[in-house]
Structure 1
Amino acid sequence: MPIASHPVSLMRRLCSQAALLALVAAAGPAAADVGSERGIKAAFVSKFIGYVEFPGQAGAAPAPLVIGVVGADDIAAELSRIVGARGINGRAVSVKTLAAGGRLGAVDVLFVGLSEADRAERLLRQAAAEGILTITEFDRALRQGSVINFRIVDERVRFEVSLAAAEKAQLKLSSRLLSVAYYVDKGAR
């Protein structure tokens, strides 16, 4: 019996897809233009934050969170609309558009758009050293050090995760996030 038609494999796949849809749906009715790829990615980014423990966060009062976006002004605008005044998990959130080649500054999350793929490796290294959650949308991003990378699979937005990159940035990822990822790279641990 082929693995795709095996009842247990099929059930896991269906549960994973349902959890993925729930993750985006939990962003709320004012979330994103779910008809657009950019809107879906922005909704995911806003939800990922709730499934990550940042360095020094355990037991600390929730400080304001800063999302930096480079190479994707449309994602930055959508994220600003999504998080608005409500924040994420009780934390105030601001979204900053960063200049290509500029400094990261004080950001907690960095989204690197496709247009910056050729220059991303330096940003990803810097972000890892500073405990920043990195999210990208281009091929080979996990190998360059991204923690989360978007992919289009069967015309759907999916994401992959690098546990080694998360560990290097001292980020703790929830098992719930990992369970809905399209692919989890466990790396050399």
Structure 2
Amino acid sequence: MKTLPPDRLRRRLACRALALPLLLAAAGTSPRAFADRYAETGAPALERRVKAAFLYKFLGYAEFPPQAFGDPAGPLMLAVVGSDDMAAELARIAAGRVIAGRPIAVRRLGEHEPIPPVHLLFVAGSDNERAARVLRAAPAAYLTVTECEGGLRFGSVINFRIIDERVRFDVSLDAADRKNLKLSSRLLTVANRVQKGGA
């Protein structure tokens, strides 16, 4: 497989990230402004920013069950396990914004820290065992998102993948159903793969 020079790889990642309208809406900017802003960013940082934008946007395409909100005016709670950088980026994107009239709160959690009820839980990293362990310990998390090879097999609702140097995601409707979580058809349309009824 041909390896691109770092500069070309960064530019290609930035340009390919623009292909999904979901991401552009999350970024809240035009394609040119997005490319200008991130073209000089290192590939890992760019990937993190793209994923953070997706995580923020996922909230607007998920319908949570009534019991997910103890307080009718309470915030949408997001938790990140395994990446302080992702938590910081997600907090930056969500700062001052509301979804369905609710503010957004982002919390960093340690790997062995108890996971409180949250609307979205992101488990960072490629370690399958850690992802499986965290997901088992998070029964009160609704929209669970991972970025490891076996994310959906371990019960994650959404799992990020890198395909052709572009951030994509797979969706498990079975996992969403188990959480009484409804996902918008607009979200499913831009998914790389939608899984229903088995692995």
TM (norm. structure 1) is 0.80
User: Is 1:46 aligned to 2:56, yes or no?
Assistant: yes
User: Is 1:172 aligned to 2:182, yes or no?
Assistant: yes
CA change 1:158–1:62 in 2 (3 A) is farther
In structure 1, what is the Cα distance between the partners aligned to 2:109 and 2:153? 23
Q: Is the 8 A contact 2:121 2:141 kept in 1?
A: no
Cα RMSD (Å): 2.7
In structure 1, what is the Cα distance between the partners aligned to 2:19 and 2:178? 26
Range with bigger deviation, 117-126 or 97-106: 117-126
What one-letter code is carried by the residue in structure 2 that aligns with 1:161? Answer: V
How many pairs does the alignment contain? 170
Q: Is the 8 A contact 1:54 1:131 kept in 2?
A: no
Partner of 1:21: 20
Partner of 1:83: 94
- Equivalent position SS for 2:85: helix
Partner of 1:111: 122
In structure 1, what is the Cα distance between the partners aligned to 2:19 and 2:179? 24
User: Is 1:71 aligned to 2:79, yes or no?
Assistant: no
Aligned pair partner of 2:194 in 168, 184, 189 = 184
Cα distance, 1:142 vs structure 2 = 0.3
- Among all aligned residue pairs of Structure 1 and Structure 2, give the percentage whose two residues are the same amino acid: 53
Partner of 1:5: none
Q: Is the 8 A contact 1:46 1:88 kept in 2?
A: no
In structure 1, what is the Cα distance between the partners aligned to 2:112 and 2:175? 21
What one-letter code is carried by the residue in structure 1 that aligns with 2:22? Answer: L
Q: Point out where structure 2 has 5 or more consecutive residues left out of the alignment.
A: 1-15, 40-45
Cα distance, 1:61 vs structure 2 = 4.4
In structure 1, what is the Cα distance between the partners aligned to 2:180 and 2:118? 15
What one-letter code is carried by the residue in structure 1 that aligns with 2:169? Answer: F
In structure 2, what is the Cα distance between the partners aligned to 1:69 and 1:89? 21
Q: Is the 8 A contact 1:52 1:171 kept in 2?
A: yes
- Equivalent position SS for 1:110: strand
CA change 1:179–1:19 in 2 (3 A) is farther
Aligned pair partner of 2:105 in 89, 94, 116 = 94
Cα distance, 1:131 vs structure 2 = 4.9
What one-letter code is carried by the residue in structure 1 that aligns with 2:177? Answer: E
What one-letter code is carried by the residue in structure 1 that aligns with 2:158? Answer: I
CA change 1:179–1:105 in 2 (3 A) is same
Cα offsets for 1:37-70 (capped at 9, x unmatched): 1000000000001010112179x94531110000
Q: Point out where structure 1 has 5 or more consecutive residues left out of the alignment.
A: 1-16
